[in-house]
Structure 1
């Protein structure tokens, strides 16, 4: 038994050292971005792109929030992939109330693209190339507008708060960043997701450190495509979103490629600017969010599996060890006591991190909101989910089936 414990300690101690080094950035991380109001020369600076596919039941809060943004937003372009549920009619109803809202359909999906980056690519091309349907095409009596300086990708399940675009734009320009994305405030409702979703979110904190802390290398950059602001000139140099065309984590793939090219990239706390209701219940959270959280499309094989090791050592192992200490007498040796004590410390850190991420959750509508505090019980499941996801590349997403056997 001591030999097994010694081996596990050899595997676990380096992971603990990595965790402490990442958490050390917590006290100096950038605080949450706050809403702002921009005036003057930033009017019409931002073009917003919202990719949609059968989003009629989630899109209304998103468009409501976007139409509440001030006039630094020039256009809100919804790129729809031929929805069949009334999404297009909903967008048209918003367009009648706010002329900035525009609906376009993306071109048929090429075989070497995934749906979301393809929709974003169509949105980029809308703003990049003047056409008869673009807001850049003017009547002979009106002067031509300059191209937008920034593109903001927003997912249909988000709920932008007033002042989102102004606050994000002001901070990005003040600090000289070229791509910035925000972590949202998550809306939870059902008991299963109150247990599972925070545990899955914690996998990102263990791997990348606190939101708002600087990345040490392009390979460790984190991003969130639910709200991602990027300079149009940067996308122009990169041929839009083509670098992420086959990625199921296209946001991270894009951000890491931007960072590799020498541009400044940041991932900030946007809990005061953006809410999101991602999935209904634990089953959908496990299936849909869990399939991309390994980030293997944006990572090397070594990065992916070193992250799996890290998660098992820090998140998957402590609870089973502590439960096992009550049943296995071999853990009562001096070496076993060190092992149990280390895992008790890791569990206490996990509980403290739960308090730290609590402001990133809106549980006002939740059934049994107190279950959030029991989410450490789901930590072994979160580590298992990332492991399973790392073993298999998705072939289906949002009702589309992809042939991912050949790399392109």
Structure 2
């Protein structure tokens, strides 16, 4: 048990140091940006997204983009009709070619049709507040980056949403110190497909979505390719300007996270198993022995710092901290589902090349 305690202490110590760094250095979007002349294309891949588009597309239409385009990816609902009613240009997606993932193919089609100098890819469930587009384009221009990727603020409402989605912030902010982006290596990259803002030249030079056509974790790979092509990669938190409701329930969260989990672990079942075991040792096991109290305090401090950095400090957000020791158990179905030979997303099944 002493050895396991030491392991947990090392993990939590490293994560707390990283969070302290990110508390000071991680960029946040700010309102009031001054955009130099640029033609901006807002591009939204959509498959069965009538509900999200009805809620979020009107705000996107008011952002002042040169064009707003929705790719209807062979939806079986009213996605296209809702998008047209809001005033967006609607493209009818063509059948998915062999070797492509659905979102990558949709984004590839959007990029080919777009006329902007700046390509802004955003998911249908992302919520854009007034001035958000100016802020992200200003970030792109001020940093001189080829790609700015934004991590929206989680705007969870139901209890089911709160069980797993906060882990998105935790993974980024406690494991990836923002200054690491300055390292020239493409491996020192992170990105989030919910909001990806490219200079068109950087997008084309990196190979765009065609270069990651078979990836389910396409966002991280795109970030690496942009950086590997010699362009700068920049990140930002959405703060008050860009938010998201990723999943409406715990079961939806399990399915959604299981899609991406293998890519984070090199498509290896053994690595996923080791990752979950370390997670259990660090956060759950301290509940069951008398020397675990300092570890539990450190874990709660970790969660508190994550919420301080992201600005999620409402009482309901802070109450999520009480779930901390139980998160490995809540995440177990995600790991189990991710270990299958096939993953399913948006009604499509993809075979996974699994390693032991």
Please report the TM-score for the alignment, with normalisation by the length of structure 2.
0.86
1:51 counterpart = 2:45: yes
Aligned counterpart in structure 2 of residue 68 of structure 1, from 46, 62, 73:
62
> Are residue 159 (structure 1) and residue 127 (structure 2) matched?
yes
In the TM superposition, what whole-angstrom CA distance separates every residue of 1:62-116 from its partner, at most 9, and x where no partner exists? Answer: 221111112xx21111111122211111122122xxxxx3111122110100100
Q: What is the CA–CA distance in structure 2 between the aligned matches of 1:281 and 1:263, rounded to whole Å?
A: 38
**Is 1:316 aligned to 2:280, yes or no?**
yes
CA–CA separation in structure 2 for the residues paired with 1:23 and 1:78: 37
Distance 1:10 1:318 in 2: 10
Q: Deviations over 1:183-227 (max 9, x none)?
A: 112221222322332245423333324xx5543543242211111
Q: What's the offset of the Cα at 1:47? A: 1.1
The 1:233–1:65 alpha-carbon spacing in structure 2 relative to 1, beyond 3 Å, is: same
Would the alpha carbon gap of residues 38 and 205 (structure 1) be closer, same or farther in structure 2, given more than 3 Å must change? closer
Determine if contact 2:276/2:335 at 8 Å carries over to the other structure.
no
In structure 2, how many angstroms separate the alpha carbons of the residues matched to 1:246 and 1:65? Answer: 32
- Separation (CA, whole Å) in 1 of partners of 2:96 and 2:60: 27
Contact 1:47 1:77 in 2 (8 A): yes
**2:315 is aligned with 1:359:** no
Distance 1:92 1:351 in 2: 41
Unaligned runs of 5+ in 1: 96-100, 128-146, 327-336
**Following the alignment from structure 1 to structure 2, what is the Cα–Cα distance between the partners of residues 305 and 23?**
28
Partner of 2:77: 85
Is 1:203 aligned with 2:167?
no
Deviations 1:151-176 (A, max 9, x none): 10011111111111111111221121
- TM-score w.r.t. structure 1 length? 0.76
Instruction: Supply the distance in 1 between the matched residues of 2:45 and 2:175 (Cα, whole angstroms).
Output: 28
**Which residue of 94, 111, 135 maps to 2:98?**
111
Deviation per residue, 1:263-284 (Å, 9 max, x gap):
2112211122212121111121
Q: 2:86 aligns with which of 90, 94, 103?
A: 94
For 2:342 and 2:294, the matched residues in 1 are separated by 36
Whether the 8 Å contact between 2:342 and 2:349 is mirrored in structure 1 is: no
- In 2: Cα distance, 1:310 partner to 1:403 partner: 22
Aligned residues: 353
Correspondence for 2:225 among 249, 257, 262: 257
Distance 1:259 1:382 in 2: 35
Partners of 1:258 and 1:65 lie apart in 2 by 29
1:400 matches 2:348: yes
Select the residue among 203, 219, 224 that pairs with 1:235.
203
Q: 1:182-331, aligned counterparts within 5 Å?
A: 182-199=150-167, 201-209=169-177, 213-215=179-181, 216=183, 217-288=185-256, 290-294=257-261, 296-297=262-263, 300=266, 309=274, 312-313=277-278, 315-326=279-290
Q: Which runs of 5+ in 2 are unaligned?
A: none
CA distance in 1, matches of 2:212, 2:313: 29
| Pair 1:268–1:37, CA change in 2 (3 A) | closer
1:316-348: CA deviation from partner (whole Å, max 9, x where unpaired) = 32443332115xxxxxxxxxx4xx365244324
- Residue 203 and residue 239 in structure 1: after superposition, are their counterparts in 2 closer, same or farther (change >3 A)? closer
1:48 shift after superposition: 1.4
Partners of 1:254 and 1:65 lie apart in 2 by 27
Q: Distance in 2 between matches of 1:308 and 1:65?
A: 42
Q: 1:292 to 1:203 in 2, by over 3 A?
A: farther
- Alignment-derived partner of residue 11 in structure 2: 15
DSSP-derived class of the 2:198 partner: strand
